[in-house]
Structure 1
Amino acid sequence: MVFISSLNVPLGYETPLFPGLYWALSGAPAKYLYYPHDIWVFTIYWALIFFLAAYIIVGCGCAASMALRRSRMPKLVVRTGVFAGLEPLLVAALYALMGAVQGAIAGTIIGVILAILYRAGSLTMNVWVPFCWGLAAILYHISSSYSTSLLLL
């Protein structure tokens, strides 16, 4: 059994470039994160990518729905003012902003906890771990939204 300690950083170690993912089945050498800052940064990046992707998709769907409603029922939806035609774009931008904020918060919390746990255990982290935690965070976020939407109905 080989024990890899994060306290024994290999000589000449350089932090892998983001995303740093490798395909293990092809025989590519494994990439590891040794420093807590790197663990935190990789986790934030993946959480931001997943949260922004999900929120931008939902925001574009909402914007399309708003734009199509206006074209289907022009007499019911009469808007005047400075932002009369920009509401769908503003809604999509607001969704993207909220996705970025929530992704940064979730990525920071998860990244700090992971860095502390791996440092306390003196373990190295594979570069796939932040990817999996970012994916798990958005999947949990999506699944927990269903119970809220059922309560609203």
Structure 2
Amino acid sequence: MGQVQSAFDPNKDSNKPNGYIVPPFPSLYNPTIVSTKQQWGFFLHDANAIWKFTFYWTLILMSATFEACAALAVFALLLSRGAARRRDAAANEGRRSKFRLRRRPPFWLLLMIPVAMGAIATFVSLVSGTVVGFALAAVYSAGGFSMSTWVPFMWGMIQVVVLIIASYSSLTRVL
């Protein structure tokens, strides 16, 4: 009876071409019809490289998305702080008695938003990038296929888009 082998087993016979070297990280190339037919470009054959590329792209794209949202949130909170300060000053104008100032949260709490979002993005991309990277590595290694370096990039984009769509509750009810 045959044994089940892992795609990450270093003793496994692989379908790597002779002299194969894992390309450096981004290694995105310009895919054209000619380069696709001739198999010119950068390809991944190693399961560890497939996982790493998928994880790195997921981390980069998800962190950029989360940090953009954090920057938007901090900007909106800074605008609301300024508007509240102007509104309080206008309401107190003409009054002789002192009024009780509302306590606003300290400024350093606003700076914690990007830090917290970065930590959340790192955790989410670690989990989702690892799961998708292992699945891609298993499928491509089991079939003996070579993977273009564009595939992990596109799967990172897919994960970000799925996360954005899932964040809207009305869309998830419809879907």
Work out the number of aligned pairs and report it.
Answer: 143
Which residue does 1:79 correspond to in 2? 104
Q: Is contact 2:61-2:156 (8 Å) kept?
A: yes
Question: What secondary structure is seen at the aligned counterpart in 2 of 1:24?
Answer: coil
The aligned residue for residue 17 of structure 2 is 10
- 2:107 aligns to what SS in structure 1? coil
Once the two structures are TM-superposed, the CA of residue 8 in structure 1 deviates from its matched residue by 2.7
Structure 1 residue 99 corresponds to structure 2 residue 106? no
Q: 1:86-143 CA distances to partner (integer Å, 9 max, x unpaired)?
A: 1111012111211111111110010001111111112111111101100000001001
Contact 1:33 1:127 in 2 (8 A): yes
Contact kept, 8 Å, 2:58 with 2:125, in 1: the verdict is yes
Which sections of structure 1, spanning at least 5 residues, go unmatched? 1-5
Whichever residue aligns with residue 34 of structure 1, its letter is H
**1:24 is matched with which residue?**
31
Q: Are 2:165 and 2:171, in contact at CA under 8 Å, matched by a contact in 1?
A: no
SS in 1 for 2:134: helix
Measure how far apart 1:26 and its partner are: 8.6
Q: What is the TM-score when the length of structure 2 is the normalising length?
A: 0.74
Counterpart check, 1:47 vs 2:58: yes
CA distance in 1, matches of 2:140, 2:53: 14
Q: Name structure 2 gaps, 5 residues minimum.
A: 1-12, 89-100
TM-score normalized by the length of structure 1:
0.84
Aligned to 2:45: 34
Identity of aligned residues (%): 30
